[in-house]
Amino acid sequence: MFAARTLFAFSCLVLLALIMLPSGAQAQSADADNGEVVYFERCVGCHGDEGDGLGPAAERLNPPPRDFTLGQYKFKTTGFDDIVPNDVDLIRMIRDGMPGTAMPGWSDVLSDQEILDLVAYIKIFAALDEETPSDQVDYGSQIATSPESIAKGRELFLQDDRCAECHGQEGRGDAIKKLKDDNGERTWPRNLTKPWTFRASNAPKDIFSRISVGIPGTQMPSFADPVSKKKLTIEERWHVANYVASLAETKKVVAPEKTVIKALKVSDALPTSPEDALWQTAESATFFLVPQIIAEQRFFMPSNDTVTVRALFDDETLALLVEWDDRTKSIPGDAKAESIANAEMSEDAIAVQFPVTIPSGMEKPYFLMGDAANPVNLWHWSSGSTEAPETVSLMDASGAETLAAREAAPAGMAGEGVYRDGTWRVVLRRALTTGDAENDTQFAEGTLIPVSIFAWDGSNSEVGSKHTLTTWYWLRLGAPGGGSSYIAAIIVALSVGALELWWLYSVRRRRVAGQT
């Protein structure tokens, strides 16, 4: 009897709680006035007093801060022909931020309530506060990923250049046409092999949303739109989403603890071609490329974001394979390349920086092309034009303004680059030692050698001081476990053993002496 009553009371409580929960969530109404306060504290710097995105950094950011007065949101899950976003779409972008843009996630400094208030406030800029979405993305039923689904997705991706037209055959965003958003701002199609640069995620459901809605304001279209010649059914969109999700190249994720490029010694001939299979035996290291926003003629809108390096050497030569995704093969004079490029096009280029003298202490040359007391060498490669082939040169610098090129061949240096499906692969080789320690870096096995990299995307107006760069990292020639280390180990083990025997011997002698 008692037990039944308790059970009844308990069930009532649970029921009550269940009723309270959703209404509790509803009660959390948004306060646009508070949103305004938070907006002027946190968002005004980029999105502007008027919500028009014309903050002081607007001209230095690509993509630029969103103009809220247009009411056009890129990452929404309402129907493709419905301009009104869902609140959850905006909440998500504000809370988690938009990777690959200047828009950070705010969840660490703003409460859920404040974010809700902000959404209510920014919708007012385009009078979206009165509107409710009329149409939602229809997800049907999700098709789980499988090799078959991925294969179907790939076919649809390539069919009639549906996605490849902008995202490239292998998805690296190596577009065959120049893209601009509705405001005439240059847009770069996403490199689909780098999902950590997606504004939303690369979960199939997010990709499905993008394919269905498109990215409003940009040239990324909706593939759910019935008038589209390339439209896809729900089922087909799931296959494409599964395919895109499978493109992630995890080798290109930057591992912050990996600061040393390990050069592997080979007994076979060192590869001269970037596509030699031998490169795969060397461990790769990937670094972030940062735009040169430090010294005069700053450069704010980079297109290259990471660079991957491998190194091999033999008794005479050091060879580096430098690999980076670049959406455009910039060959001045080539009509097609020039049609994709920003106004003036230069050659694509890469340079690997070494100190001329390997420092014995902490002090290195200034990371931006050295300084008067600490000169650097730059191994420079550039892609060539329709008139001239690719060039390799050796550059000397003690400060960026002193940069001067000389011929590479006398120092035993050569190189070769190949562009394929949105990736440059460039081999640079030089003799380990030259006769000129005054001007050339001399490489020795076993020491840590500072190294850094500069990159230029010629189609993105990158030339001269306008480039991307890494900070100092390390290069080390030689595999661990040299011969001398186990000789030392054997000597120690043997001498300790000898000491033990001597100890035993002396104990025994003492005992014998004691007995007699």
Interface with another protein, residue 503, by CB under 8 A = yes
Which residues, at least 6 apart from 197, have a Cβ–Cβ distance to it below 8 Å?
A: 99, 100, 190, 191, 305
Burial zone of 442 (CB within 10 Å; 0-12 exposed, 13-18 middle, 19+ buried): middle
Report, in Å, the least distance between residue 301 CB and ligand HEC.
11
Q: Are β-strands 306-313 and 317-325 bridged in parallel, bridged antiparallel, or unpaired?
A: antiparallel
Binding site partner of 253, from another protein, ligand HEC, none, Cβ cut-off 5-8 A by kind: none
Residues 6+ apart with CB under 8 A from 25: none
Give the contact letters, 285-324, x = binds to another protein (CB under 8 A), - = no: --xxxxx-xxxx-x-x------------------------
Cα–Cα distance between 150 and 168 in angstroms, integer?
17
**Whole-angstrom Cα distance, residue 449 to residue 376?**
12
**Contact with another protein (CB under 8 A) among 45, 140, 333, 464:** 45
* Binds 362: which of ligand HEC, another protein, none (CB < 5-8 Å by kind): another protein
**What one-character DSSP code corresponds to residue 143?**
P
DSSP E strand stretches across 341-432: 349-355, 376-382, 391-397, 404-407, 414-420, 423-431
Q: Which C-beta is closer to ligand HEC: that of 214 or that of 417?
A: 214
Per CB under 8 A, contacts with another protein among 250-289 are 254, 256, 259-260, 262, 287-289
Nearer to ligand HEC, 66 or 310 (CB): 66
Minimum distance of ligand HEC from residue 21's CB (angstroms): 27
Q: CA-CA distance, 420 to 387, in Å (whole number)?
A: 21
Q: Least distance to another protein from the beta carbon of 116, Å? A: 19
**Which residues within the stretch 347-406 sit at the binding site for another protein (CB under 8 A)?**
362-367, 371, 374
Out of 147, 226, 481, 483, name the contact with another protein by CB under 8 A: 481
What does the binding site for ligand HEC look like in residue numbers (CB under 6 A)?
42-43, 45-47, 61, 63, 65-66, 73-75, 90, 93-94, 98, 101-103, 106, 118, 122, 162-163, 165-167, 179, 187, 189-190, 192, 198-200, 207, 210-211, 215, 218-221, 223, 240, 244, 293-294
* 121 φ, ψ (degrees, to nearest 5): -70, -50
Q: Minimal CA–CA distance to 203: which of 150, 160, 241? A: 241
* CA atoms within a 13 Å half-sphere pointing along the CA-CB vector of 152: 15
Rounded Cα–Cα distance for residues 415 and 390 (Å): 9
Can you give the binding site for another protein, defined by CB under 8 A? 45-46, 55-57, 60, 101-102, 104, 106, 108-109, 254, 256, 259-260, 262, 287-291, 293-296, 298, 300, 362-367, 371, 374, 446, 448, 470-474, 476, 478, 480-482, 484-486, 488-490, 492-494, 496-497, 500, 503-504, 507, 511
